[in-house]
Structure 1
Amino acid sequence: MGRKRKKSKLLEGIKTIAVAFAIAGVIRTFVFSPIIVDGQSMMPTLQNEDKMILNKLDYKFKEPERFDIIVFHATEDEDYIKRIIGLPGDRIEYKDDTLYVNGKAYEEPYLDQYKQGLSSIPLTRSFKLEDTPVGSETVPEGYLFVMGDNRRNSKDSRLIGAVPIDQVVGDAKIIYWPIKDAGITE
């Protein structure tokens, strides 16, 4: 009788571990997953090799918002992390290092650290949306206009065009490593 009981406990333990792995797999696939920032295009907000939590569920219940940091499929093999600057229907323009959306100037406090160290050269070169690969006066329906915070070193919508909303994997707000930078992004 003792042998049967041990075998039964062992099977229960294996089942419990299997269920735990299945739940973890579902959460990682559909809800949250860890990501590692690759490159310098989001500096100073994010550093190369920062470890973050990607929330895959957020945009199932709400629309993306201006200035959210998102991860999207840029190619079949590569995901990018960028900041949303323009939403569908927005007219985007940068003039004299200032963002204008639909004619209204917006402050970008997350760029202040970079702008402080600059001389007379603007961080973001002046452009109008129609001068980018988007090629129209407004961000098309179903698309987003994204940019990296490191405006001088970012492959973003100014080069790749607008990003289809259905290619957005999720938003990235939480840095968990390195510990000194842990917290919620701006």
Structure 2
Amino acid sequence: MQESLKKKRRKRIAKVLFGLVLVGAFLRLYILIPTDVTGISMYPTFVSNDKVVMSTVSSIERFDIVVFTDPMNKTVVKRVIGLPGESIRYEQDQLYVNNQVVAEPFFDRDEINEEPGLWTSNFDSIQTSDQRVPEGEYFLMGDNRRYSYDSRFYGSISSESVIGKVVLLYYPFERIGWH
């Protein structure tokens, strides 16, 4: 009798472990996906070879960091600046959305404040093909505005090109944090 209970218990534990492995594999393959940051366009938020996790089921809001496929079919990490239907403009390092000043709190950092000159050159979304970000698209920019190839050059990105939203920096370990 005791042996039968032990077998049932082992079976139950095996089923639970198998279920956990399946759930973990599902999360890893479809919902939470690790990816690498390459290049300097997201400095100082991310640097080349940082490792992040993106969520494929998160809603996207202004200033979220997303992973997407750019017009050259490269996987890239950038920050959402403009949402569908908005006009975007920069004047003297100040972001204007629909002609309203919008603060960029992620730029309140020593690395940026120590750099002389404008961080973001003057820009108006009229310089791209549309005056407003088209429906179903996002205007994306790198945090290292001086060295970022982004929506200022190739226009807005369709929501279908967005793979996921960065939710966690997990390497290097000393900079682990939620995003």
TM-score above 0.5, yes or no: yes
State the shift of 1:48 in Å. Answer: 1.3
The answer to whether the 8 A contact 2:71-2:154 is kept is no
TM-score w.r.t. the length of structure 2 is 0.83
1:116 paired residue number = 113
- Distance in 2 between residues matched to 1:33 and 1:177, nearest whole Å: 14
State the shift of 1:17 in Å. Answer: 8.8
Partner-residue secondary structure (3-state), 1:159: helix
Partner-residue secondary structure (3-state), 1:58: coil
- Distance in 2 between residues matched to 1:76 and 1:130, nearest whole Å: 23
The answer to whether the 8 A contact 2:167-2:178 is kept is yes
- Distance in 2 between residues matched to 1:163 and 1:106, nearest whole Å: 21
1:180 paired residue number = 174
Partner-residue secondary structure (3-state), 2:130: coil
2:36 paired residue number = 36
- Distance in 2 between residues matched to 1:43 and 1:52, nearest whole Å: 14
TM-score w.r.t. the length of structure 1 is 0.80
- Equivalent runs, 1:24-103 vs 2, <5 Å: 24-59=24-59, 64-75=60-71, 77-103=73-99
Which one-letter code corresponds to 1:166 in the other structure?
E
1:3 paired residue number = none
- Distance in 1 between residues matched to 2:112 and 2:94, nearest whole Å: 11
Residues 41-98 of structure 1, C-alpha deviations (whole Å, 9 max, x = no match): 1110112111111111213xxxx10000001111574211100000001010000110
Equivalences, count: 168
Which one-letter code corresponds to 1:73 in the other structure?
T
Which one-letter code corresponds to 1:118 in the other structure?
E
2:7 paired residue number = none
Unpaired segments ≥5 residues, structure 1: 1-14
- Distance in 2 between residues matched to 1:115 and 1:180, nearest whole Å: 20
Partner-residue secondary structure (3-state), 2:27: helix
Indicate the larger mover: 168-177 or 19-28.
19-28
Partner-residue secondary structure (3-state), 1:166: helix
Residues 81-118 of structure 1, C-alpha deviations (whole Å, 9 max, x = no match): 10000000101000011000011111112123343122
Which one-letter code corresponds to 2:64 in the other structure?
D
